[in-house]
Amino acid sequence: MSANSIDEKPKHLNIKFENSFQFMLRAMDISQFHPYTKKDIKWASKLLSLYLTCLAVICVIVYSIIFIDLKVKDITQACSNGVICFIFAVITLHYSIMFYYQKLIVNMIEIMNNNYEKAEEYTVEEKHVILEYVGKGKFIVLIWRRISLFGGGLFITRPIIVMVYYAVFSEFKPVHLYEMVYPSPIEELKDTFSVYCFLYIIFIIFTFCAMFTLHGFQPLGPIFMVHACGQLEVARTRIMKIFHDDNSVEEIIVKLKHIAVSLKNIYSFIDKIQTCFKIFYELILKTTILVLPIVIFQILGSFSNGELKIEFVSIVVGAITMSSVPCYYSGMLMESGENLRLAIYSCSWENRWDRTSRTLILLLLLRTTPPVTIRTMFCRLSLDALADVFRQAYTIFNLLNAAYN
For residue 394, what are the contacts with CB-CB under 8 A and spacing of at least 6? 293
For residue 273, what are the contacts with CB-CB under 8 A and spacing of at least 6? 108, 221, 224, 225, 228
Residues above pLDDT 90, as percent of the chain: 48
For residue 32, the one-letter residue type is Q
Cβ-count burial of 195 within 10 angstroms (0-12 exposed, 13-18 middle, 19+ buried)? middle
Cβ-count burial of 392 within 10 angstroms (0-12 exposed, 13-18 middle, 19+ buried)? middle
* CA–CA distance, 264 with 369 (Å, rounded to integer): 14
296, 319 Cβ separation under 8 angstroms: no
- Work out the pLDDT band at 377, boundaries 50, 70, 90: low
356, 251 Cβ separation under 8 angstroms: no
- pTM confidence score: 0.89
Among the listed residues 50, 52, 53, 83, the one whose alpha carbon sits nearest the alpha carbon of residue 65: 83
Domain boundaries, the chain: 25-404
**pLDDT over threshold 50, residue 254:** yes
* CA–CA distance, 69 with 89 (Å, rounded to integer): 20
- Work out the pLDDT band at 374, boundaries 50, 70, 90: very low
Kindly give the residue spans of alpha helices, DSSP state H, lying in 22-123. Answer: 22-31, 41-64, 75-100, 102-118
**pLDDT over threshold 50, residue 155:** yes
For residue range 230-247, what is the model confidence (pLDDT) as tens digits? 999 999 998 888 777 676
Residue 58, number of CB atoms within 10 A of its CB: 18
Total number of residues shown for the chain: 405
Annotate 258-289 with DSSP letters as a single string: HHHHHHHHHHHHHHHHHHHHHHHHHHHHHHHH
For residue 235, the one-letter residue type is A
- Would you state the pLDDT for residue 13? 80
For residue range 269-309, what is the model confidence (pLDDT) as tens digits? 998 999 999 889 989 999 999 999 988 888 887 777 667 77
- Would you state the pLDDT for residue 379? 58
Q: First CA to last CA across the chain, in angstroms?
A: 62
For residue 388, what are the contacts with CB-CB under 8 A and spacing of at least 6? none
- Work out the pLDDT band at 373, boundaries 50, 70, 90: very low
Candidate from 49-63, 92-106, 138-152, 358-372 with smallest mean pLDDT: 358-372
* CA–CA distance, 3 with 146 (Å, rounded to integer): 40
- Would you state the pLDDT for residue 55? 94
Residue 293, number of CB atoms within 10 A of its CB: 21
For residue 204, what are the contacts with CB-CB under 8 A and spacing of at least 6? 156, 177
Prior bond to 185 cis, omega within 30?
A: yes
- Work out the pLDDT band at 5, boundaries 50, 70, 90: very low
Indicate the average pLDDT of the chain.
86
Question: Angle at the Cα of 141 (from 291 to 101), degrees rounded to 5?
Answer: 75
> In angstroms, what CA-CA distances link 244 with 10, 119, 338?
21, 22, 21
For residue range 338-371, what is the model confidence (pLDDT) as tens digits? 888 888 777 766 666 666 666 766 667 666 655 5
Cβ-count burial of 340 within 10 angstroms (0-12 exposed, 13-18 middle, 19+ buried)? buried
Q: What is the average pLDDT across 163-181? A: 86
